[in-house]
Structure 1
Amino acid sequence: MLKEIRPAIVSFAALACLTGLIYPLAMTGIAQVAFPTQANGSLITQNNQVIGSALIGQSFTEPKYFHGRPSATTAPDPQDPAKSVPAPYNAANSMGSNLGPTSKALADRLASDMAALKQENPGAAVPVDLVTTSGSGLDPDVSPEAALFQVPRVAKARNLPEARVRALVESQATGRDLGVLGEPRVNVLKLNLALDKMQAQNQPGS
């Protein structure tokens, strides 16, 4: 009996060691050497402090900053853990809204967001990614069109020429990966950091 079971036990142990220990350690080591930034979460630092990740969006609401896509992520209600409350870009609970095209709540939210955005930039068409949530709720990017749509608001809030802010957006835009994968995009956190840096350099005495 033991003679028949032994090969199975040895095979199981060898495969467990290979796939559960050796392979993960090898891939981790290769990633740390070849792609250290990506392997460690694509973290973004400022003054030696981590302020975010290039892979996870953040909630920007002030007029002087570019805003990302709406996020439908939630978190437990502090007053009643059985309920949930909106928590934009909650990385612990990645999700979409799960609202369908016949949802009144979705229609009302879209109408409200569209009205606010049209008031912000009356002469421009509203890019779809400024009113629709992503499937993950954590999208860190917006389309170049969505970023450019916000230029008048941001320039006015910072008392900067629109042309200068527009040029900054265009400089931060990234094309398709390898020329064919994904869509052109702008990372909102990186754009806002570049915006802060540009304005700091614009201050008298800087």
Structure 2
Amino acid sequence: MGNRHKIIIIAIVAMFILTPLSARANDSLAIGVQGGFLATGAVIDIPLGPIVVNAGVNYPAGWLYIRTLSESDSTFDDLVDPYFTVTADVTAPIPLGDNFDLKIGASTLAFTDFTSGMFGVAGAALKGEYWIPEKTTGLFVNLNIPIMLYVVGEDTPFSAIISPWLPLAGLFTTTAGVLWTF
């Protein structure tokens, strides 16, 4: 095993050790909304022990706004039209104060119509979460660093492309939003 693999394993173990000190007032379910170029919609944040799973059902509002302005009529635009955007993150929180968590993990953002398949990007997630003192409201920014483009469908087996240019897609996959706990 190379040194890089050892460093990654040590970092992951350190994240899980620090998890119980997270800033969220309680470890309960949180729901919210997020906005971004390719993902504007509803999210749910579910703590599962030392990790947090975040899932969202969204609409690519920024993409469709620009498409509307451009009045383009290309085949690619028709492909994106009927699709929703789904987001998912699995992160481990690292407390950086009484009200702030830094969450590090993996993320994906995919276009889907929920029947024929999906295409999207996957990579690292870096999420800052600030919880307003004495309130059940939190603000977040989820920075994504895609490293893989993938396609999967009922007629298409899973295929993936890894490119050094894909992290630039993080400019479009990054979101910000509000969470509420119960």
Normalising by structure 2, what TM-score? Answer: 0.26
Larger RCO (CA within 8 A; separation ≥ 6): 2
Q: Normalising by structure 1, what TM-score?
A: 0.24
Larger Rg: 1
Richer in strand (by share) = 2
